[in-house]
A and B are shown apart, each in its own frame.
Chain A
Amino acid sequence: QQQVKQSPQSLIVQKGGISIINCAYENTAFDYFPWYQQFPGKGPALLIAIRPDVSEKKEGRFTISFNKSAKQFSLHIMDSQPGDSATYFCAASKSGNNDMRFGAGTRLTVKP
């Protein structure tokens, strides 16, 4: 049962461009939405997270936009750099319930 759908599966962006990755969820009880960055051979690392009481959260070049009514959230990477090349996963969970549901991942390649 896939509760978090992520797109696109892969993304190629030129250096300096904006990378946009989208996720949609089904369970309205979810109230914690993190994004993880994973480099080859490494474990996922938390990049940025949002709760549904705000519609946007920005940390440096990374921004999460959240649309509660549409049950969608997205990650925007501004001024994308080759070092951002990695696989990005969105996830969702209910507070206090750590059965976190992950999207299938987006492999981002930033070309120099």
Chain B
Amino acid sequence: NAGVMQNPRHLVRRRGQEARLRCSPMKGHSHVYWYRQLPEEGLKFMVYLQKENIIDESGMPKERFSAEFPKEGPSILRIQQVVRGDSAAYFCASNRDSLGEQYFGPGTRLTVT
């Protein structure tokens, strides 16, 4: 039973480009969460999604960031017009229901040059 998968593991983008980060939850999990981790800091909640629905996006910057979790396929975190401050590790987690343990993926390390 594969765990949470994220790709790419490393992503380098120039300022102004778009970054697309993908997350495939564990089998049987329909809840996905995205977190951002800056160096030497804890994880900051960004967004919580269920299939085809955004449940809570209170941690998501209002501009340039968007997330989706379509009926088929992985969840996507999209960052438009990236800036240097977007450089961070982005983790997704999934669980079977909202009360269950969150299982984390290995993360995508985004570097903006």
Which residues in A have some Cβ–Cβ distance to B below 8 Å? 4, 6, 34, 36, 41-46, 49, 89, 95-105
Contact = CB atoms under 8 A, between A and B. Distances in A.
Given A41-B106, A43-B91, A43-B104, A95 B99 contact: yes
B98 interface: yes
Contacts of B103: 46
Contacts of B101: 34, 46, 49
| Size bracket of the B interface | 20 to 34
Interface of B: 4, 31, 33, 35, 40-45, 48, 56, 58-59, 91, 93, 95, 98-99, 101-107
Nearest to A98: B48
Contacts, number: 57
Contact of B107 (A43, A49, A98): A43
Which of B42, B43, B58, B103 has the most C-beta atoms of chain A within 10 angstroms of its own C-beta?
A: B42
Contacts of A104: 40-42
27 contacts: A34-B101, A36-B104, A41-B106, A42-B106, A42-B107, A43-B4, A43-B107, A44-B104, A46-B101, A46-B103, A89-B42, A89-B43, A96-B99, A97-B98, A98-B31, A98-B33, A98-B45, A98-B56, A98-B95, A98-B102, A99-B45, A99-B59, A100-B33, A100-B45, A102-B35, A102-B44, A105-B41
